[in-house]
Structure 1
Amino acid sequence: MTDYLITNSAALLGGVEDASVPGSYNPVFASHALRFEAEQAASLSLPGVNDIWIRADCYYDDFNRTTSGDGFFASVGLPTVDIARIDLNNGAMTFDYANLSNSVPNLTGAPVTGFPDATLFTFDIHIETGAAVAGNVDDYRVTAYVDLSQVGQVLGKADKVNGEGAVRFDFGGTNFLDGNGRFFLSNVLVSDQDTRGRRFRILRPTGPGALATAVGGHAELGDGDPATFAYARTVGDAVTSILTPGATPPGTIGRVILASHARNASANPNPGQVINRLRIGGTNHDAAGQAPAGASLEALTSEWAVNPDTGLPWTWADLAGLEIGFAGGS
């Protein structure tokens, strides 16, 4: 299983980090939501695989259900065609889709119900493309779920699919909120496995750890600002930070995932890799080195199914003694 993105950061998704609107996020699992104004979109870059899942906690002020306008608030993009989007027309929602050689959804699909106004809900969407869907490289299927219940699905075929995987998903669009409404996202996950029912808590660095040979530290790594960062000047430069886990949430910890949001600062970076690092009781536990693809921010994730110091399942108490960070690798 690969989790391509786990985030609640404005640095990656845009918007404004906002904890001021009650009910716009789940405080058990998040410290804030990302606020987007009307007509804004939060666009996710997807890895282009043929089977991908997306989940997010969502809160929409007021869907445009009463006017005669025509807008949309969720769309799926492949390299040369937008195959599907959830459309609003005369107050009704439909799952519109593309066929033949069209580049955008041109057919009105079945009605979609179940998206609430001014109520926090979990939105999962499953995007499948290519021959595995129904035997043809131009096939696709997109299925949407609200609070684990299926609310809509499109199954179609379009010439421009050509076996490609989805590379973009947009939350938001045009004319989908009444008046000056806003929408909020939190705890966004992109994975190649089923996301329904998965819960996670994102912990940011809150204080300095034991290692500080890289430039920058917890203040730069944990503020959600794409203009501030930490960097290694040579192989072995490292920084670690402590966490503040807070109250124990319900359930057990299935795994700990460390995501370093990184980019290359030059065409030939040195060091050329990011090594995600856990530090427990003075011992470093390093993941395999990864190299950012280019100058845009991307999530480099590593995971530990058990506590590497003990070999036992993680407990919430383990996190209080955990340092997280990275080192420069060759």
Structure 2
Amino acid sequence: MNDQQEPAFSQRETQPAAAAPSHPQDADAARPRRPGWLLKTATCLVYAAMLAWSVHSARPSSLPDIAALAVASAAGLAVVPLVALAFLSLWKRFRTPRNRLRIALAAGLFLMFAVAPEIARRNDEKIQRDVANAEIRKTADALRLMLGGAHATPDAASSIDPTPKATGPYGEMERALKTVARERLAQHKAYVQELKEIGLPRLFDAHRLARDAGLIESRLILEQAERLVPTYRKQSMQVLTQMPARIRALPIDEQEKANLLDSLAASNAAGSANLTRVWDLEGQILREFGQMITLLDDNRQFWYADHDELMFGRDDDLRRFRQHQDAVSRMVGEQDQLGRQPLPGVLRSSLR
């Protein structure tokens, strides 16, 4: 009798088979999703825009400066997204390529809208400071040229426009300094004009001296000039004494005012001493002129006018006259060194 034997099943055959993906889309879903072109484009545009803005706002002057600034800006822009990626990568869900790019885009937008305005403000502040400094230097140079020598007459049309080129606090500081410079020039022009009207520039004109019997006119000219000195001395000193009030009236931040007032306190003593010395020298020059007129008056018979020159009959008289001339030249030179520093150092040194 043939017993039918049931087929034996191995243990392996009895194990259920691993389920295969029922559809190709399921395999795609199991892979990390890649960032789309729109996300890539947006991220590139954000960082490219910030890099271009960083370079442009700094206004580099040459191609090497542009290249160096671009590299530095790119390195700086990379810091924030790299830090964000390093931190968020602690969580597995943020490690996918698309999420990483999303993090980079979010960091870029944060920089653009949260950090960029402050950087823009600081860059603009630096630019305005540079503009103000350049304008102040131009004003100082122009004023020195206009003032010329101690008794040079500026061009009647010469003036200084106080309108600032910079904006904001530095623009207000620029306006204040230009106003001071304009007042300084106006004082100088008025003083020189009055000296001209009383005849001081022609005091040693040979023909006038020859016609001046007893040199009475010459002494009158000197007397009138000496009366002008205290008036204009007081006006010029007021430029320094009024500076604290000018600073307090500036529409700028209180901290900026405090810095300016501190600078003024540090420089005011030296500025006042210089200006005092300028006017002391002015008085000494006029007194030296008086001694020259006395020399001529006491020795009237030993000199005469020859065309535009004074001719002396005695060498000793000529020697003494030239000694006075040399003393005047030295004092005028010192005036030029002191008096042609017309702008208070307080504002010039505080634009930093």
Length-normalised TM-score, structure 1: 0.19
Q: Which is strand-richer, 1 or 2?
A: 1
Structure with bigger gyration radius: 2
Length-normalised TM-score, structure 2: 0.18
Q: Which is helix-richer, 1 or 2?
A: 2
More RCO (CA 8 Å, sep 6+) = 1
